Amino acid sequence: MNTLSTVVVIGGSGFIGSHLCELLLNMECRVYCVDNFATSGAHNVAHIADRPGFTLIEHDINEVLDLPGRVELVVNLASLPSPVDYLARPVETLRVGSLGALNALDFARVKGARCVYASSSEVYGDPSVHPQTESYHGNVNPMGPRCSYDESKRFGEAACEAYRNVYDVDTVVLRIFNTYGRRMRAQDGRLVPTFIQQALADRPITVHGTGRQTRSLCHVDDTVNALLKAAMARHPGPLNIGNPDELTVVAIAELIRELCGSRSPIQHLEARHEDPARRRPDISLARRALGWEPRVNLRTGLVETIAWFADNSSMATTNL
């Protein structure tokens, strides 16, 4: 696939999806943004709602999707990726990761479209291999507190493999690591928006456990560029998409505090059960197969994200 014409983005009004829709419109693609607004809202795409070629469709991907005309690409971003959401709504998380994934693949099969599946670094669980390579099968507890999200993504990957082998659907699996940036919800439980909101309000920045656990943060612009490159390539994946620069959680908290000019103290809370101790992608395969690597410097990206939260406090706290 060298060019894209009509693209269906499932979960398109979400954090990552809204950025992808915008990028595709800038490429003069016809974009169908499909979302049930379970963890997002139309406000995320309000700035592109009137642009030529954009259509917002309220639809639950757990129901069969049917759209007229030719479609070249389907991107499935539908999920409940926030700990706040998947811990409170595990059945819904499992349903969209299984039935929703199958419906997206069936739609791509009918249309003869390439299907990009947004999996997650959570398929690695609390990894015993570091950094994580795509050949590592992970360390996931199917009965653990994070299992609904972890297993839903593992199911989605298996579904892509089955549809590729049985029905010859052109699929690619991307394992997306921690992504941050503008349009994240402040209250979704992930560390960057949590720390920013706390630092901007000069409240204690809450770090679970010792804070020595590590994360690797990738700016949303880099993530959506990887999605686009994967759509245009022929590689089936899985491909790690993330930033290999690794920081401790407490170091991230201190950096955000500094960039906010905040007086917030670091407050240590009880460690979360089965919280991954280390998380860092090996992106050698993405570099070779896609010619992709992250470009946005962490400090630059965080400054931009902090400014967005400061300027859009009412939008950031929307929890739909």
Whole-angstrom distance, CA of residue 70 vs CA of residue 23 = 20
Contact 252, 215 (CB under 8 A): yes
Longest CA–CA separation in the chain, Å: 57
Cα dihedral 141/156/280/296 (nearest 10): -150
Strand partners, 30: 6
Candidates 32, 117, 124, 149; catalytic one: 149
Geometric angle at alpha carbon 186, from 175 and 265, rounded to 5°? 105
Whole-angstrom distance, CA of residue 222 vs CA of residue 58 = 27
**What residue type is assigned to position 271 of the chain?**
A
Main-chain phi, psi angles of 114, to 5 degrees: -70, 140
Residue 149 bears catalytic tag: yes
Main-chain phi, psi angles of 51, to 5 degrees: -75, 145
C-alpha torsion sign, points 307, 309, 315, 320: positive
First to last CA, the chain: 36
Strands (DSSP E) found in 11-132: 30-35, 54-58, 73-76, 114-120
Catalytically active residues, by annotation: 149
